[in-house]
């Protein structure tokens, strides 16, 4: 009886770890430039090279291969 109970618990544990438990998210680097093999989509967020604020890629200003949130930061940077 105890052997059957342990077997059921083991099967439930295996199912949990293989299918239900979520994998940890990968951390992103703090660089303002995207990697060469990484494609950015329009709703991805990029960090302003001057003030550090995050803006959507579609709204960001690109100057000297860096992303900026507004024209003021471009002039500062």
Nearest to 56 by CA among 70, 66, 46: 46
Residues with Cβ within 8 Å of residue 18, at least 6 apart in sequence? none
pLDDT digit string, tens, across residues 16-61: 888 876 666 665 555 555 555 666 666 788 999 989 899 988 888 9
pLDDT digit string, tens, across residues 56-71: 888 889 988 899 999 9
Q: Which two tokens stand for residue 37?
A: 């093999």
pTM: 0.47
Where are the domains positioned within the chain?
2-76
What sign results for the dihedral spanned by CA atoms 16, 20, 21, 23? positive
């Amino acid at each position: 009886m105890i052997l059957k109970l342990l077997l059921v618990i083991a099967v439930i544990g295996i199912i949990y770890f293989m299918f239900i438990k979520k994998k940890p998210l990968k951390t992103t680097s703090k660089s303002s430039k995207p990697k060469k093999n990484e494609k950015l989509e329009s709703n991805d967020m990029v960090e302003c090279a001057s003030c550090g604020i995050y803006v959507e890629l579609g709204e960001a200003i690109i100057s000297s291969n860096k992303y900026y949130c507004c024209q003021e930061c471009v002039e500062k940077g």
